[in-house]
């Protein structure tokens, strides 16, 4: 009986133990889960959603997260520094927009992140080409004084290097029997008039002897003195043919010399050459006569100026550079050949047909000595060559209008490989990613050739933080920029200026290019894929315009873009329409510069904001508005941007002058 009770008690105890054990295990699991959630929240892997955004769109404190600008670690719930890169964590309080290409940053986060903005400007931009070089002798001002006959040096008047001499100064006294014989023959010819008259047909004995004396180095003055004294001498004075400094002395007193053996070398150091090595793309922007500023290694805090005298037509096969020679005045003798120099050349940021230099405007310049500039035509007193107008070298007589480019501060760009993006503030606090095409980069600014229009606001400091937020929420970013729009939401901005009007055969060719474009535009508006024949004909016509010498170089850049964009057209009609915008943008820029007779009378610019990817531009010559991007779906969608006819532009320019 007792055994049965004991067994029953033991069974009850075991059952109770199993029941409590399961409860304890469940309890332990619950505690560990709560602990894990707490750890995840503290580490930032799990963020409470109770905070969210308030009614004003600002994120509440409970939802604030702190992120590393370099995205090294997961977001944190408390401020501090990144344990990986030690950068200060910043508040992540940006809200994603519904469009998938932008974020909204509230005022508090903007202050913490230090986000600043700048406005894209249209301006004439210069850039500085920097190069290193050496000071060298002006080779056109070097003279070698050699022995004209065999002899012995009896006396050196310039007996050390560095002696400064004037033209006609005695350098050495040379003994030579050959010179004595030649002088005697000359005197004999002068004294024996009968013998001199016999050889008159050959110039006379005295004339032949005089020529020989000149070949032996005697000057006209020395020969005149000999004819008066009638006393030949076996010694001759070597004289300096120019003003300068003795830079080489190859003999001493008592040396025997042979005819033609160099004795002295004299250099005029009033002008020296600065030899620079430039990369070919930089050398292409430099012009003859352009001013260059240089700082010399041995002369601190002083800037020397010179002008470009020669640009090598070849590229050095070893260094892949182009040699540029600069002529620099050295009247004080401070510049020493062999010294190093750093030079700066200021050139337009984009290649131009003409540049304006006030010192050269409407002037004439020596083709051999660019420091010699005159107001009127004439000849160079140094080389005797005719002065040439500076206009032939690409220097304008007046400031050249219409050479502005779109620029932004360099810090506004985020560049990775061949891609560049900016963040455009389209509304207060709303930053939209935009792909841009970058031209030239200067020290402070960047030329944007596509993707931005004048007046748009871009983010500067803090734009990398904006990009990291775009990555977090899965929007396009610098890591994946292909999904970002490549066009501005605003119509393409064109300069207000009179285009060049061609009325000859070239004008008809220009009009034909526009007509082929109109065929593409009309066909797309009718929901049809354009003919390949039209496409190829347009490519050929654009290529012919690029090769025409009458077309300005600045226009040829856009003709090249138009040709490349036309060649890329193809695929479905949607593909045609998405790429047609590139063709339109390029030819709109061409239309701002050159026209034929027909397009000078009728040409309009339209823009449709409904085109995917921030809208689309196109041109028409006449007729009702026909949208090539939508076709029959929204054929009349779009707004008139400008009447581009020559008369309309003239009225616009006249109105600007009245307002000014």
SS3 assignment, position 239: strand
What are the structural domains of the chain? 117-124+404-483 (2.40.420.20), 500-659 (no CATH)
Half-sphere exposure in the Cβ direction for 618 (13 Å, CA):
31
Among the residue ranges 154-158, 281-285, 377-381, 399-403, the one predicted with the least confidence is 399-403
529, 569 contact by CB (below 8 A): no
Residue 356 or residue 655, greater confidence: 356
619, 533 contact by CB (below 8 A): no
How confident is the model over 413-438, as a mean pLDDT?
Answer: 90
SS3 assignment, position 618: strand
Residue 21 CA to residue 32 CA, distance in Å, equals 16
Residue 87 CA to residue 82 CA, distance in Å, equals 5
Q: Quickly count: other Cβ atoms within 10 Å of residue 154's Cβ.
A: 12
Segment 484-494, tens digit of pLDDT: 888 777 888 88
Phi, psi of 558, rounded to the nearest 5 degrees? -75, -30
Residue 620 CA to residue 605 CA, distance in Å, equals 7
pLDDT at 46: 36
446, 383 contact by CB (below 8 A): no
Confidence of residue 660 (pLDDT cuts 50, 70, 90): low
Among the residue ranges 185-199, 216-230, 437-451, 509-523, the one predicted with the least confidence is 185-199
pLDDT at 49: 35
Residue 221 CA to residue 6 CA, distance in Å, equals 152
SS3 assignment, position 477: coil
User: Can you read off the two tokens belonging to residue 410?
Assistant: 């360099």
pLDDT at 318: 93
- Is the predicted pLDDT of residue 188 greater than 70, yes or no? yes
- Is the predicted pLDDT of residue 13 greater than 50, yes or no? no
Among the residue ranges 64-73, 104-113, 234-243, the one predicted with the least confidence is 64-73
- Is the predicted pLDDT of residue 42 greater than 80, yes or no? no
Return all residues near 656 (Cβ < 8 A) that are at least 6 apart: 496
- Is the predicted pLDDT of residue 606 greater than 50, yes or no? yes
pLDDT at 22: 53
User: Can you read off the two tokens belonging to residue 237?
Assistant: 């004075």
Long-range contacts of 212-219 (CB under 8 A, 24+ apart): 212/182, 212/185, 212/186, 213/179, 213/182, 213/183, 213/186, 215/148, 216/148, 216/149, 216/176, 216/178, 216/179, 216/182, 217/148, 217/149, 218/179, 219/168
pLDDT at 205: 66
CA 55 to chain centre: 49
Segment 136-185, tens digit of pLDDT: 999 989 999 998 888 899 999 998 899 999 998 989 998 988 888 888 88
Q: What is the DSSP letter of 187?
A: H
pLDDT at 204: 60
Percent of the chain with pLDDT over 70: 85
87, 81 contact by CB (below 8 A): yes
- Is the predicted pLDDT of residue 517 greater than 90, yes or no? yes
Tokens 């990986």 found at = 84
pLDDT at 494: 86
pLDDT at 119: 94
User: Can you read off the two tokens belonging to residue 153?
Assistant: 């040096």
Residue 358 CA to residue 164 CA, distance in Å, equals 37
Tokens 């707004």 found at = 639
Residue 370: name the closest of 352, 393, 354, 348 by CA: 393
Q: What is the DSSP letter of 139?
A: G
Confidence of residue 449 (pLDDT cuts 50, 70, 90): confident
**pTM attached to this predicted model:** 0.65
pLDDT at 309: 94
Quick one: angle between helices 532-547 and 505-525, nearest 10?
150
Residue 555 CA to residue 353 CA, distance in Å, equals 10
Residue 552 CA to residue 538 CA, distance in Å, equals 20
How confident is the model over 220-238, as a mean pLDDT?
Answer: 84
Describe the strand order of the beta sheet including 256-257 as a list of residue ranges: 235-239, 170-175, 151-156, 256-257
Residue 394: name the closest of 288, 495, 323, 512 by CA: 288
pLDDT at 40: 39
Q: What is the mean pLDDT of the chain?
A: 83
- Is the predicted pLDDT of residue 476 greater than 80, yes or no? yes
Segment 274-309, tens digit of pLDDT: 999 999 999 999 999 999 999 998 888 899 999 999
Confidence of residue 638 (pLDDT cuts 50, 70, 90): very high
Residue 6 or residue 310, greater confidence: 310
233-247, 251-265, 461-475, 529-543 — which one is most confidently predicted on average?
A: 529-543
Phi, psi of 230, rounded to the nearest 5 degrees? 60, 30
Confidence of residue 36 (pLDDT cuts 50, 70, 90): very low
SS3 assignment, position 348: strand
Identify the H or E element spanning 188.
helix 177-191
Return all residues near 334 (Cβ < 8 A) that are at least 6 apart: 296, 299, 302
pLDDT at 88: 78
Phi, psi of 207, rounded to the nearest 5 degrees? -65, -40
Confidence of residue 499 (pLDDT cuts 50, 70, 90): very high
How confident is the model over 532-547, as a mean pLDDT?
Answer: 94
CA 558 to chain centre: 17
């Amino acid at each position: 009986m007792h055994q049965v009770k004991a067994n029953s008690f033991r069974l009850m105890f075991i059952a109770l133990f199993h029941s409590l054990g399961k409860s304890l295990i469940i309890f332990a699991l619950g505690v560990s889960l709560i602990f894990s959630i707490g750890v995840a929240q503290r580490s930032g892997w799990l963020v409470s959603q109770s905070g969210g955004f308030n009614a004003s769109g600002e994120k509440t404190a409970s939802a604030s997260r702190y992120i590393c600008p370099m995205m090294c670690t997961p977001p944190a719930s408390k401020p501090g520094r990144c344990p990986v890169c030690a950068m200060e964590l910043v508040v992540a309080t940006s809200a994603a927009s519904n469009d998938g290409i932008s974020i909204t940053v509230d005022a508090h986060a903007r202050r913490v992140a230090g986000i600043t903005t700048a406005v894209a400007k249209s301006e004439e931009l210069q850039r500085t080409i920097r190069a290193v070089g050496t000071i060298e002798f002006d080779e056109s001002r070097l003279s070698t004084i050699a022995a004209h006959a065999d002899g012995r040096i009896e006396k050196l008047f310039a007996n050390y290097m560095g002696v400064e001499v004037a033209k006609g100064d005695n350098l050495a006294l040379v003994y030579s029997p050959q010179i004595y014989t030649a002088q005697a023959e000359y005197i004999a010819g002068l004294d024996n008039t009968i013998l001199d008259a016999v050889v008159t047909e050959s110039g006379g004995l005295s004339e032949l002897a005089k020529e020989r004396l000149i070949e032996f180095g005697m000057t006209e003055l020395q020969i005149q003195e000999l004819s008066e004294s009638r006393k030949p001498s076996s010694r001759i004075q070597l004289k300096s043919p120019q003003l300068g400094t003795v830079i080489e002395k190859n003999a001493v007193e008592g040396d025997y010399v042979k005819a033609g053996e160099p004795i002295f070398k004299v250099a005029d150091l009033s002008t020296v050459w600065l030899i620079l090595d430039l990369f070919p793309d930089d050398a292409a922007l430099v012009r003859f006569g352009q001013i260059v500023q240089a700082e010399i290694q041995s002369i601190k805090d002083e800037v020397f100026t010179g002008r470009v005298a020669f640009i090598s037509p070849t590229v050095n096969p070893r260094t892949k550079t182009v040699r540029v020679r600069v002529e620099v005045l050295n009247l004080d003798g401070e510049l020493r050949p062999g010294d190093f120099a750093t030079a700066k050349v200021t050139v337009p940021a984009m290649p131009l047909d003409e540049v304006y230099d006030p010192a050269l405007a409407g002037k004439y310049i020596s083709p051999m000595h660019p420091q010699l500039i005159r107001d009127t035509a004439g000849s160079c007193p140094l080389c005797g060559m005719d002065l040439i107008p500076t206009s032939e070298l690409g220097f304008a007589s007046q400031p050249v209008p219409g050479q502005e480019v779109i620029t932004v501060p360099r810090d506004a760009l985020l560049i990775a490989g061949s891609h560049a993006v900016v963040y455009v503030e389209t509304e207060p606090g709303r930053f939209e990613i935009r792909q841009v095409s970058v031209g030239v980069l200067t020290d402070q600014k960047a030329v944007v050739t596509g993707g931005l229009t004048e007046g748009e606001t871009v983010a500067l400091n803090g734009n990398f933080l904006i990009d990291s937020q775009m990555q977090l929420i899965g929007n396009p970013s610098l890591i994946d920029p292909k999904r970002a729009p490549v066009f501005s939401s605003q119509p393409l901005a064109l300069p207000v200026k009179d285009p060049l009007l061609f009325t000859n055969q070239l004008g008809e060719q220009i009009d034909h290019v526009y007509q082929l474009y109109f065929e593409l535009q009309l066909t797309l508006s009718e929901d049809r894929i354009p003919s390949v024949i039209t496409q190829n004909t347009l490519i050929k016509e654009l290529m012919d315009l690029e090769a025409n010498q009458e077309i300005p170089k600045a226009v040829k850049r856009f003709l090249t873009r138009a040709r490349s964009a036309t060649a890329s057209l193809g695929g479905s009609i949607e593909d045609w329409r998405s790429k047609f915008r590139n063709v339109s943008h390029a030819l709109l820029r061409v239309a701002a510069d050159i026209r034929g007779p027909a397009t000078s009378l009728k040409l309009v610019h339209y823009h449709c904001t409904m085109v995917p990817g921030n809208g689309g531009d196109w041109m028409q010559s006449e007729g009702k508005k026909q949208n090539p991007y939508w076709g029959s779906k929204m054929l009349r969608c779009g707004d008139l941007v400008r009447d581009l006819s020559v008369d309309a532009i003239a009225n616009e320019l006249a109105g600007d002058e009245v307002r000014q």
